[in-house]
Amino acid sequence: MGVIRVKVMRKVKMSITLKNRLADLDKIKAVVSKLSGTIDCTRRKLKEIDLILEELFANVVHHGFKDNREHDIDISLSCDDDILEIRMEDDGEPFDITASPAPDTRCALDKRGIGGLGIHFVKHFIDDCKYYREKNKNIIVLKKNMAEKPHKKNDSK
Amino acid sequence: MEIFQENVNGVEIFIVKGSLDSNTSPEFESRIYASLENGQKRLVLNLEDLEYISSAGIRVMLKTTKDLKHMDGNIVLCSLQDYVKEVFDIAGLDGYLCIEKNLDEALLKI
């Protein structure tokens, strides 16, 4: 007799508004921690979500704004069955994540740049990615399947 | 994040615990570079208890590896957890860095 695992997966929606300062990363960590108590997923998946959110946020904080003003960055997470949708909005410089080139991770060490890795990580750990520019805002909508895949994703390029 | 350091036969061993993210990586970087300024050129990073790393932590590793190469030094990493190992692989660092299964192997390779 196999063990029947009862999955509790409710519809979940959370949103936070952050400022364009790295200290607000703590708020992301708090939301991911809250998510862990709400949806049924592995610690590993939570680390991947943590990474996706940190890289998106850090990227817009580092590169999104040319002025020195405070800006809002809105992030919402919604989970319906096994699909987690991440939506981020900011009023920074236009940045189309879907058009961002992958870094050359196989070149010689001396030529190896240190940029572009964060977005590369995001793309590796998500299953669908859409970008819109509306009313001077960047809107990124990502989807991630939270169910454990039978095989490890083989995309190390 | 917590960092513990010890020197064994001229090899500086860093034990990094917890999370290397955008907020904690600057402290990690300053600890590493303080050690380089003190003349340490052989570093081992024991990542057994490193639970999480983002591109900010990866950048410090990449920069340290490049700088040590120019100083005729060496860096070896060991005991990576699965998630950390995958992030290293995606970043392509597995091709540049010496990564060993455990501390004993790392001390043999350094």
A50·B59 Cβ contact <8 A: no
User: Looking at CA atoms only, how far is residue B38 from chain A in angstroms?
Assistant: 24
Contact assignment for B52 to A50 by CB distance below 8 Å? yes
Task: Identify the architecture of domain B2-109 in CATH.
Answer: 2-Layer Sandwich (3.30)
- pLDDT digit string (tens) for A36-57? 888 888 899 999 999 999 999 9
Test B58 with A44 for CB contact under 8 angstroms: no
- pLDDT digit string (tens) for A73-85? 999 999 988 899 9
> Residue A136 belongs to a domain with what CATH number?
3.30.565.10
Element (H, E) at B44: strand B42-46
Residue-level pLDDT at A149: 66
ipTM: 0.93
**Domain residues for A136?**
12-145
Contact A106 B82 (CB under 8 A): no
B87 interaction partners in chain A (CB closer than 8 Å): 51, 121
Is residue A122 one of the residues assigned to a domain? yes
Give a yes or no: residue A1 inside a domain. Answer: no
Pick from A47, A48, A109: CB nearest B69: A109
Write out the E strands in chain A. 12-19, 72-80, 83-90, 128-134, 137-145
Instruction: Report residues of chain A scoring pLDDT below 70.
Output: 1-10, 149-157
Number of domains within chain A: 1
By Cβ distance, the residue of A105, A112, A118 closest to B55 is A118
A155 belongs to a structural domain:
no
Evaluate whether residue A6 is within a structural domain: no
**What are the boundaries of each domain within chain B?**
2-109
In degrees rounded to 5, what are phi and psi of residue B96? -105, -30
State whether residue B52 sits within 8 Å of chain A by CB: yes
Give A132 to chain B, closest Cα distance, Å.
25
A79 in a domain, yes or no? yes
Q: How far is CA A43 from CA A36, A46, A100, B78, in A?
A: 8, 5, 29, 22
**pLDDT tens, position by position, B30-82:** 999 999 999 999 999 999 999 999 999 999 999 999 999 999 999 999 999 99
Give me the residues paired with residue A140 across strands: A88, A131
